[in-house]
Chain A
Amino acid sequence: VLPELKLLCGADFLQTFKTPNLWKEEHIKEIVEKFGLVCISRAGSDPAQYINESDLLTKFQHNIFLVKEWIQNEISATQIRSALCRGLSVKYLIPDSVISYIAHHNIYTEESERKNEGDLLQPL
């Protein structure tokens, strides 16, 4: 028996299904029907409500696993990049090895943040 492959994501990812032209309807259907979703969200936010508002997701809700994150940790990559550009410490937010790598290759700068500025996202 093959292991089941499931898509792991946060609540904001789930919400992006709503963004016009970002996802193909038939793809969302195949994801939730054939594979399954595991959605981690903060205590206090309500992905169940959002699923309820979508007929498609409601139909396959047995294949959408909602996990509550009780020890909240709101570390977004956007904030990390912002902190790095401002020369602020990100120690204990991301692994030390990743911090060293970023510093060594000078990956995140004001310039890198401007990459693709004004361009349309490929799916759109």
Chain B
Amino acid sequence: DPDKKTEVVLLACGSFNPITNMHLRLFELAKDYFHETGKYKVIKGIISPVGDAYKKKGLISAHHRVTMAKLATKDSDWVEVDDWESSQSEWLETLKVLRYHHQKLLSPGPTNSLQNAIPLTKPGRKRKQEPNRHDPVKKKNQSPDIKSVPQVKLLCGSDMLESFGIPNLWKSEDITEIVENHGLVCISRAGNSVQKFIYESDILWRHKNNIHLVEEWITNDISSTKIRRALRRGQSIRYLVPDVVQAYIEKNKLYSPESEDMNAGVVLAPLQKHASDSKN
């Protein structure tokens, strides 16, 4: 019964430095996974590149990273790029980005992203969803019914999940709120160590039913780091990133030994923030 399915929005945060076919595959794998459960319907995918204030080594300007992500998703009818996070002057915790997008879905109005997500009807193509189907303003009760308000889930690979263990990178109360109020969708290779990591963490174990593990059988080792390395060495990245992204990188001469040195020696924003928070 399509009316009983929980609507899900997938949010991927990260550097996207640059965006690769692997990032794009995460969305496809997650969507198939949720649809196969028969209980969920994925209505939108959001790519939210991190802001320059993150200060990661080799991080080129948000403008280019956002543009490349937009080029990569221009022919997708459900995955889009959001630049709210990248346009903030300070680095933002991932939880804040999740809360922002969740809030955006709750409030109706012209800027409601749910409305904007509906594709224009093309001849011969059915509308994927009727507008105003779940209008929270009309609901009498204040607390949103879990089935009528779309859930925003954090989409990631096993490296992000396991980064929860890096000291001072994440606040434990943030991790708790992410898995308790929103949920995680983690794509990883078969036989990986993610299940063990979840087992060893009390917080993650407690909310394990809100952590969806998706196995990637057609494995894909395309990391942005490797892409940048190949570019510095004049090697081809064709078929690893969308053609439009490769063309953009070439045209703008992005990624060089110099760009890789950006932020060298600078402390990553979350580490900086948590170190100073604990001092206060």
Interface residues of A (CB under 8 A from B): 70-76, 79-80, 83, 88-89, 91-93, 96
Q: Which residue of A lies closest to B237 (CB)?
A: A71
Which residues from chain A contact B28 at a C-beta distance below 8 Å? Answer: 89, 91-92
| CB–CB B218/A74 < 8 A | yes
Interface residues of B (CB under 8 A from A): 21, 24-25, 28-29, 31-32, 75, 217-223, 226-227, 230, 239-240, 242
Tally inter-chain residue pairs, CB-CB below 8 A.
44
Provide the bound-state CA to CA distance between A115 and B230, in Å.
41
Contact of B219 among A70, A74, A80, A92 (CB under 8 A): A74
| CB–CB B226/A70 < 8 A | yes
Provide the bound-state CA to CA distance between A71 and B240, in Å.
9
| CB–CB A83/B218 < 8 A | yes
| CB–CB B24/A92 < 8 A | yes
B124 to chain A, nearest CB (A): 13
| CB–CB B240/A73 < 8 A | yes
| CB–CB A92/B218 < 8 A | no
B1 to chain A, nearest CB (A): 20
Q: Which residue of A lies closest to B72 (CB)?
A: A92
Provide the bound-state CA to CA distance between A88 and B214, in Å.
13
Which residues from chain B contact A83 at a C-beta distance below 8 Å? Answer: 218
A78 to chain B, nearest CB (A): 10
| CB–CB B32/A88 < 8 A | yes
| CB–CB A71/B24 < 8 A | no
Question: 10 closest pairs, A vs B, by CB?
Answer: A72-B221, A89-B28, A92-B24, A92-B21, A74-B219, A71-B226, A79-B218, A88-B32, A92-B25, A91-B28
Which residues from chain A contact B220 at a C-beta distance below 8 Å? Answer: 72-75
| CB–CB B24/A72 < 8 A | no
| CB–CB A71/B32 < 8 A | no
Provide the bound-state CA to CA distance between A47 and B149, in Å.
54
Which residues from chain A contact B219 at a C-beta distance below 8 Å? Answer: 72, 74
Which residues from chain B contact A96 at a C-beta distance below 8 Å? Answer: 75
| CB–CB A93/B226 < 8 A | no
Which residues from chain A contact B24 at a C-beta distance below 8 Å? Answer: 91-92
